[in-house]
Structure 1
Amino acid sequence: MHASSPFRHRRLILQGAASLGLISGWSARASAAGAAKEAEATAASAGAVAASAPSTPTSATAVQMSDVRLLPSFYAEALQANQSYLLRLNADRFLHNYHLFAGLPVKGKIYGGWESDTIAGEGLGHYLSALSLMHAQSGLPALKPRIDYIVDELARVQRAQGDGYIGGFMRKRKDGKVVDGKEIFPEIMRGEIRSAGFDLNGCWVPLYNWHKVFAGLFDAQTYAGNAQALQVATGLAGYMAKVFDALNDEQLQQVLACEHGGINESFAELYARTNDERWLKVARRLYHHKALAPLAEGRDELANLHSNTQIPKLIGLARLYELKGQQSDADTVKFFWKTVTDHHSYVIGGNGDREYFSGPDTIAAHITEQTCEACCSYNMLKMTRHLYSWSPDAAYFDYYERTHLNHIMAHQNPRTCMFTYMTPLMSGVAREYSSEENDFWCCVLSGIESHSKHGDSIYWENRDTLFVNLYIPSLLTWRHAAATLEMTTRYPFESDIDIKVKRLAGQRYYTLALRIPAWASGHTLLVNGKPHPASKDKGYLFVRRRWRAGDTVRLTLPLELRLESAAGNDKVVALLRGPMVLAADLGAADKPFDGLAPALVGANILASFKEADKVKAVYRTVGSGRPGDMKFTPFFAQYDRRAAVYFNAYNEQEWAASEVAFRKEEARLKDLADRSIDVMHLGEMQPERDHDLQSDISYPVSYRGRMGRDARTGGYFSFRMKCAPGQMVLQASYWGEERNRDFHISIDGERVARVKLDGSHPGEFIDRDYVLPEKLTQGKSSIVVRFDPEPGHTAGPVFGARLYVQR
């Protein structure tokens, strides 16, 4: 039995429970009834367990990915789609800037999107990693020449540069000219350091960029056997070390204030591969105190921090712990992982709203169209692998499976092999996918890696123990036992998981460890069609016996429906079947959805779900859906559909009260509309044209289904609005969690308000009314409204404005 759950904040609703059936704790093991049922099933299927039954080994190593081949499944389909995309991509286009800045002939036109922005060059590192991972996962011969070619070209670039440097990122000067990003480093070495979080002296996250290049080179060495890749990485590290050596500790912290990925991991890994203490010293210096010190002290101060900026730093600490064994590093990583998974994660396993952590246990207030940046889950899964390897526990893979299935598999559309940036959980919002050649967001690039390695975490080993952590159809060559095993299943759509010993010379004792997920209320285990003794520890069934070729194992897990609540709010729930999140289908993505977010109503909501298609895991509500009953299907597979994942859950009395409140708000808005003279929908093209929008350093934004506009330091935006006789009031709408916003509002050039947003209204939009002096509106048919930020601040975003007559 697990001592704790990886999603402690979850809540179960079990059929037959009182009222809505809320039961504390998401793990079925937490209830005595669940434990009794599981024990009964174990006894019935396994018989008496031998006194010498094995316990969980103290560490584990993932089986080499090259020894795992995927069998037909939706995972294999995603892998195949990604493989086709990798082959369509052109290495020379990713190498464009590397060649250009080294004075070498350019061989391909640069890609669009982020690859044409100042972050250019990041794509090459991810592409090299994806090719290398796919080479190991599939063995496709066409991939190895591409890997070797990229490494050869980077070595040519390095020779041409002459100092170890390789780089594709660019620098935007103050005059607007875009140049080679290398020119920022002499400035930095002189102590001239400027960063606004994602910009370092005019470059967009250059150290983050290099972290991806290092990762690509290491992956080329690990998975494709390219020895030259380590030489190139060592040369680049030498250049970077000279930059860092020129900085004192305070200056280095200034540099690290800019998003830098896991650059500490890069140097730790280089130390592991070269045993050169120089790189370990650099890795230790690359410790971002502002972000890591609170975590080291066990404090959750993640609110309003950029999620994917933090996670790679912790992965770097994990690698350092593995190399040098400093317990404080391990404790920091463990605290962060548990904090994020228990208090900051959505039901699909992802985290972040608009890329940022919100306060702990506030998920219900952040169900928007900008949830769950894919890179965050990509990195959280990496971190989970590290933690699991130190101390195998099924709880880690309960989280891993949930996130891999419900987020990573939703991240790619296998029909097009395009990727999402965010995975929206707001009801009715469709996923937005990348284009083939003109986006290359970070999440596209982590996506081509994620979908190159679906077999990397299925099987783990420790001597003669084989852990089966993910139930994905696959063929395993287990070298330690000189055996070949085949796993076939339609899990998570069906309950049975079959494992067959396809090849084994003679007979041999080994232990098969099968993960029993925390949500499973029971299980059935058969070996060669009969019950077999099995011990249990840390969420695993341990089957130890003398195995021979032809032996079979069948594990059956009951895929029962359950409702889980959002962290911190038992009244906001999602539906799961086993590990799989089910979502209401709200229609095709290419058709608009302008209805209200659906709700679930009843004394026993779970009992209202009826199975409509067992093979495809389709269910329907009968009587509990509002405004009407709904069809639920697997969320991850709703690639081209609009979905609803979270629902407000009411009993009948609560629903009636909510309807009264809704009608009252409708009446208030109607009265306001009747008194409105003009309404400005900021961020929308036609309204902005109609209102003669003027702007500089100003950008449209979208959040929670509302469009808006901001203005950064040195910029502004203005627009013309109609006015009428009488006392006029300007109303502006803001998101209540914006902080450190300081700006002015002017009417026809005269300032009427100074606005400071401090995040004091979490989870809601706020309207602010500004009564205008009559001298500014008398006798006028229109006025110009202007928003100007204070230096160093942002104006807005403003999510709409209106002029109305005061009563």
Structure 2
Amino acid sequence: MLRSSRREWMQGAAGVALMGMATRAVGAAPSILPAKAEPLPLSAVRLRPSVYATAVETNRRYLYRLSPDRLLHNFRAYAGLEPKAEIYGGWESDTIAGHTLGHYMSALVLTWQQTGDTEMRRRADYIVAELAEAQAKRGTGYVGALGRKRADGKVVDGEEIFPEIMAGKIKSGGFDLNGSWSPLYTVHKLFAGLLDIHGGWGNAQALDVAVKLGGYFARVFAALDDAQMQTVLGCEYGGLNESYAELYQRTGDRQWLALAERIYDRKVLDPLVAGEDKLANFHANTQVPKLIGLARIHEITGKPEPAKGASFFWETVTGHHSYVIGGNADREYFSEPDTIARHVTDQTCEHCNTYNMMKLTRHLYGWQPDGRYFDYYERAHLNHAMAAQHPQNGGFTYMTPLMSGVAREFSTDKDDAFWCCVGSGMEAHAKHGESIFWQGGDTLLVNLYIPAEARWEKRSAVVTLDTAYPMEGQATLSFTRLDRAGRFPLALRVPGWANGQAQVEVNGQAVSPRFERGYAVVDRRWKTGDTVSIRLPLDLRVETTPGDDSVVAVLRGPMVMAADLGGREDKWDSPDPVLVGVNPLAGFTAADPATARYRTAGVFRPADLSFVPFYSQYDRRSAVYFKRFTEAGWKTQEAAFLADQARARDIAARSVDVMHLGEMQPERDHGLTSDISYPVSYRGRQGRDARSGGYFEFTMAVRPGPMILQGTYWGEERARDFDILVDNVKVATQHLENDKPGAFFDVEYPLPPALTAGKKSVRVRIVPHDRSTAGPIFGMRLFAAKAGATA
């Protein structure tokens, strides 16, 4: 297959299912697959040597390196107890402190389940005891580490915001609630960790802490009317609805279920339940956990509306908002559907989003097993999750950039980051065995081809899966032990990209399986020693991008392939490679099939390339998406294409600092302060404005020599005027009024040399004129003037 689209690979397994349905229509045979399924417990699965087993061990070393007492610092300090160790830096020293501990608790449980390491369990129990002590000292049911920044800049115990909220004093934004950074998001992480520890081995103290914490916030929410509740829910709250649903499941107390259903952000969730895609310009990972919560509520209550919302969201994101590696969002935000080709940047694919999309996938698959769910899951797991952890030092990525030539950035062993994606990363790489084997009724399903051994209690069986997949196309399942021998179906997933081309053997003899819903099913009497093998084709293929057939990626089986553009230490300043010709795959030659390495000849411009699996490019620069041209089309477009690239690269090469206005982390990194100023989203871009009487101000780095400040604006604004100041010196007054209809445009402001001389940074301040608005400004950049230029 030379060419496919995202919809085709998502629908591939469904196509296989239709083949099976057509066969059944003649013979009127009932479905052989189970109506529902559940994974074999993680504790029943042990990984055999592979990159996945390496990732678990690397992550286990990382968990050992972290200090529970350092993560507990604020929990004790804010409760009036003496901390036992200094606080960590990065986000743990900001007002979102505490979110990492929740992730760490969950990761400890998962690692104990995946490996049997008793130190993981000991640490988890220790943390629960410490939290119980801090909770008892407070005496309110609350326990937490989050901070609150007061108007005078002082950071204090974040609990003080909740009495204000109960009194109706609510100042809520996308990530700030009364001066605390996403506090309910942090509360959710702590809830999840407590519930995971309780579920892991029945730690009753963990459930007791969770119930008391749940009661505290039940009182907070009870003080709010519906409008106030929606205002609070306008600030990121993670999957707090899921936590309360799970608390009900553990205790049977219906107040928790009622609260789970009340934690419902109507602005986001109502359209999804109604089947409407209004995701553009929403922060992506803020939304995914809400849908996981809806999925859990559906599982508990059986109500159809939560399931509709969760299912529609999954279909929409995977089919219309996802990149080829399975991740989504550019600079953390969804864009319009089917616009991925316009958002291939250095800020694509936040790992948290994919981690949570994989969790949501597991819920939906359990409701009705269908191979297409694991077509997505496998793609995201292999190409994004595995790319997001450095296999040597255990660092994690925040974004996984897909822009050509951009290297990945990982957290370091200094433990000074603690981004959200560090938290989801330590969970993701603790549990690579959790979705390989599933069961439903009498059926055993194999969804991921990862070397592993598992106990299947239903049949008192031990099964072993041997494979070099995805480097090789064969996988063999052996019944190492089968105490309850007998007849039952074994279902092996046939990925949609295989187009039903799967060869199956039982004990070395070819068989004709039954194909249904993306599976090759063998229904027979099984006994100890039996083996079943599946072989899948691993041909290269070109896949088009949703909404733009002229932008393509190259895949081999489930693997996204990348052009290797050199090491991270090698500067990349060449034009983006483009694909030229009618039959591009004819120009690929296997250089080392065992490691999926290829060379190209004559089909790329400006030069031939080497291709390797994208996930393995930890310390390398890559190209994944390629603009595709015919020979004639390339001759026409080459000059303009290269000129545009050269201009963009010239500015990028001279750039000293870039400010992505309206985005959470860049604004924090640049020390943004503001008043009567708001983040905005328009046409897929984030920005910020300031209203009359307000301002916004931030720090930008400079370097010696003439500098230029550049602002980006939308070309169809109504008349407005504002001043731009650098270190309190006005450098420009900007007037906007229908400057460039239908397009964004840039304005350059040369800075007087005296403004930057001898400085490492400056403060940029934007002030609207009276009765006017400043901006919106969709980003600002400081770059060096060309040699010889004067201000």
Same fold (TM over 0.5): yes
Give 1:328 deviation, angstroms.
1.1
Q: Are residue 369 (structure 1) and residue 351 (structure 2) matched?
A: no
Equivalences, count: 743
Give 1:532 deviation, angstroms.
2.5
Q: Are residue 385 (structure 1) and residue 359 (structure 2) matched?
A: no
Give 1:681 deviation, angstroms.
4.6
Q: Are residue 799 (structure 1) and residue 777 (structure 2) matched?
A: no
Report 1:417-566 matches (<5 A).
Answer: 417-436=394-413, 437-505=415-483, 507-521=485-499, 522-566=501-545
Q: Which residue of 1 aligns with 2:695?
A: 714
Mapped partners of 1:752, 1:569: distance in 2:
39
Structure 2 vs 1, CA of residues 295 and 25 (structure 1 numbering), >3 Å: closer, same or farther? closer
- Contact 2:361 2:377 (8 Å CA) reproduced: yes
Deviations 1:505-532 (A, max 9, x none): 2632221111100000301000001122
CA RMSD of aligned residues (A): 3.7
Mapped partners of 1:741, 1:70: distance in 2:
63
Structure 2 vs 1, CA of residues 125 and 135 (structure 1 numbering), >3 Å: closer, same or farther? same
Structure 2 vs 1, CA of residues 709 and 352 (structure 1 numbering), >3 Å: closer, same or farther? closer
Give 1:51 deviation, angstroms.
8.1
| Residue among 166, 171, 174 paired with 1:189 | 166
Deviations 1:82-112 (A, max 9, x none): 0111111110111000011111121111111
Q: Which residue of 1 aligns with 2:572?
A: 593
Structure 2 vs 1, CA of residues 341 and 662 (structure 1 numbering), >3 Å: closer, same or farther? closer
Mapped partners of 2:27, 2:435: distance in 1:
29
Structure 2 vs 1, CA of residues 740 and 116 (structure 1 numbering), >3 Å: closer, same or farther? farther
Mapped partners of 2:699, 2:607: distance in 1:
43
Unaligned runs of 5+ in 1: 1-13, 16-20, 44-48, 674-678, 686-693, 702-707, 725-729
Structure 2 vs 1, CA of residues 544 and 734 (structure 1 numbering), >3 Å: closer, same or farther? same
Give 1:753 deviation, angstroms.
2.2
Moved more, 715-724 or 792-801: 715-724
Structure 2 vs 1, CA of residues 376 and 230 (structure 1 numbering), >3 Å: closer, same or farther? same
Q: Are residue 303 (structure 1) and residue 286 (structure 2) matched?
A: no
Q: Which residue of 2 aligns with 1:704?
A: none
Q: Which residue of 1 aligns with 2:683?
A: none
Deviations 1:451-473 (A, max 9, x none): 00111111111121011111111
SS in 1 for 2:594: coil
- Contact 2:327 2:380 (8 Å CA) reproduced: yes
Q: Which residue of 2 aligns with 1:203?
A: 180
Q: Which residue of 2 aligns with 1:571?
A: 550
Mapped partners of 1:421, 1:647: distance in 2:
24
Q: Are residue 55 (structure 1) and residue 32 (structure 2) matched?
A: yes
Structure 2 vs 1, CA of residues 476 and 504 (structure 1 numbering), >3 Å: closer, same or farther? same
Mapped partners of 2:100, 2:370: distance in 1:
35
Mapped partners of 1:490, 1:351: distance in 2:
28
- Contact 1:743 1:794 (8 Å CA) reproduced: no
| Residue among 219, 222, 225 paired with 1:242 | 219
Structure 2 vs 1, CA of residues 695 and 473 (structure 1 numbering), >3 Å: closer, same or farther? closer
Deviations 1:119-173 (A, max 9, x none): 0011110000000011111111221111110111111111111111100000000
Mapped partners of 1:201, 1:697: distance in 2:
15
Report 1:620-635 matches (<5 A).
Answer: 620-635=599-614
Mapped partners of 2:194, 2:370: distance in 1:
31
Report 1:604-623 matches (<5 A).
Answer: 604-623=583-602
- Contact 2:715 2:745 (8 Å CA) reproduced: no
- Contact 1:515 1:541 (8 Å CA) reproduced: yes
Mapped partners of 2:43, 2:644: distance in 1:
60
Mapped partners of 1:101, 1:584: distance in 2:
51
Give 1:400 deviation, angstroms.
0.3
SS in 1 for 2:308: helix
Give 1:767 deviation, angstroms.
2.4
Identity of aligned residues (%): 49
Moved more, 530-539 or 325-334: 530-539
SS in 2 for 1:636: helix
Report 1:119-158 matches (<5 A).
Answer: 119-158=96-135
Give 1:754 deviation, angstroms.
3.5
Give 1:545 deviation, angstroms.
1.1
Q: Which residue of 2 aligns with 1:46?
A: none
Moved more, 502-511 or 65-74: 502-511
Q: Are residue 112 (structure 1) and residue 69 (structure 2) matched?
A: no
SS in 2 for 1:620: strand
Mapped partners of 1:695, 1:58: distance in 2:
53
- Contact 2:354 2:380 (8 Å CA) reproduced: yes
- Contact 2:515 2:521 (8 Å CA) reproduced: yes
Q: Which residue of 2 aligns with 1:753?
A: 734
Structure 2 vs 1, CA of residues 415 and 668 (structure 1 numbering), >3 Å: closer, same or farther? closer
- Contact 2:541 2:556 (8 Å CA) reproduced: yes
Structure 2 vs 1, CA of residues 482 and 506 (structure 1 numbering), >3 Å: closer, same or farther? closer
Deviations 1:341-383 (A, max 9, x none): 1100000000000000011100000000100000000000010
Structure 2 vs 1, CA of residues 759 and 711 (structure 1 numbering), >3 Å: closer, same or farther? same
Mapped partners of 1:349, 1:496: distance in 2:
23
Q: Which residue of 1 aligns with 2:235?
A: 258
Q: Which residue of 2 aligns with 1:11?
A: none
Give 1:53 deviation, angstroms.
7.3
Deviations 1:538-589 (A, max 9, x none): 1111111111110011100011111111111101111100000010000001
Q: Which residue of 1 aligns with 2:657?
A: 683
The one-letter amino acid paired with 2:449 is: Y
Mapped partners of 2:654, 2:469: distance in 1:
51
The one-letter amino acid paired with 2:696 is: G
Q: Which residue of 1 aligns with 2:766?
A: 788
Moved more, 604-613 or 731-740: 731-740
| Residue among 609, 616, 625 paired with 1:637 | 616
